[in-house]
Amino acid sequence: MMNIKSLAEDDRPREKFLSKGKTSLSDAELLAIILGNGSKNESVIVLAQNILASVNHNWHELAKLSISDLCKFNGIGKVKAIEIQTVLEIGRRRSLQKALHREQMDSSKDAFEILHPFIGDLDVEEFWAVFLNQKHKILKTERISQGGISNVSVDVRLIFKRALELNAASLIIGHNHPSNDLTPSRLDKELTQNVKEAGNLLNILLLDHLIITQTSYLSFADKKIL
């Protein structure tokens, strides 16, 4: 096995980390530190480069690979695949903790940062709601329903049942598009209108509806289609 120590000293990512800092490392070098070893035929750096190339150098896409997907690479066994997924999950939870620390919602970007760690990397659609008080402080962020690859059904009554339980004054709803297409469907627009009208009857304001992908989002409020 070609491990990190088999590289020339100047090419060893751990030494580079210590001498120049973590920001000096490339994505492949960071992944190489996690891997530790390459295979009989390629160095750990090359293995890391090949893994990242398979997902277009996108960490979000890498996080979606299963254990079996990772084990297809020569030099990756179940233990190493689990280690990769563990590190990526730690990163996801770190982002989530940072987002949940936010107490108040002031923009669609704030809503995106709250919801993205929950649903940005999912392969199926999920529908979530952020319930807020009169000062737009977060009361609760919860999943309302889960669907399939291209759609999710939502019972509007469940949204407002929870809103009433929490004494929410307003809410933001959001769901993901695993296809990475931000275009709202006809059903997305109809659902938004239904939630808005139901909220008006109960004096609970719908502030926004976000469609979220791995790297971006669409805000119905920003686009003035709410």
**Residue 225 falls inside a structural domain:** no
Quote the pLDDT of residue 80. Answer: 93
**Residue 210 falls inside a structural domain:** yes
Asked if residue 87 and residue 112 are part of one domain, the reply reads no
CATH of the domain at 109: 3.40.140.10
**Residue 140 falls inside a structural domain:** yes
Tens of pLDDT, residues 35-63:
988 887 888 889 999 999 999 998 888 98
Tens of pLDDT, residues 54-112:
999 988 889 889 999 999 999 899 999 999 999 998 887 877 666 565 567 889 999 99
Asked if residue 127 and residue 212 are part of one domain, the reply reads yes
Asked if residue 111 and residue 17 are part of one domain, the reply reads no
Structural domain harbouring 167: 104-219
Question: Last residue of a domain, which of 74, 96, 118?
Answer: 96
Structure tokens at 63: 């996080």
Q: Using pLDDT thresholds of 50, 70 and 90, give the confidence band for residue 141.
A: very high
Structure tokens at 192: 């938004």
Task: Indicate yes or no: pTM above 0.85.
Answer: no
Asked if residue 141 and residue 76 are part of one domain, the reply reads no
Report, as an integer, the average pLDDT of 16-24: 87
What is the overall mean pLDDT for the chain? 89
Number of separate domains in the chain? 2
Quote the pLDDT of residue 100. Answer: 60
Asked if residue 207 and residue 120 are part of one domain, the reply reads yes
Asked if residue 29 and residue 13 are part of one domain, the reply reads yes
**Residue 224 falls inside a structural domain:** no
Using CA atoms, how far residue 161 sits from 68, 142, 165, 199, in Å, is 41, 13, 6, 11
140 closest CA partner among 120, 119, 114: 114
Asked if residue 90 and residue 125 are part of one domain, the reply reads no
**Residue 226 falls inside a structural domain:** no
Question: Last residue of a domain, which of 96, 119, 149?
Answer: 96
Diameter of the chain measured on Cα atoms: 69
Using CA atoms, how far residue 179 sits from 28, 213, 217, in Å, is 26, 8, 12
How many CA atoms within 13 Å lie on the side-chain side of 214?
15
Asked if residue 208 and residue 118 are part of one domain, the reply reads yes
- The type of residue at 204 is I
Asked if residue 109 and residue 90 are part of one domain, the reply reads no
The answer, yes or no, to whether residue 198 has pLDDT greater than 90, is: yes
Asked if residue 127 and residue 79 are part of one domain, the reply reads no
Give the Cα separation of 219 and 65 in Å (integer). Answer: 28
**Residue 77 falls inside a structural domain:** yes
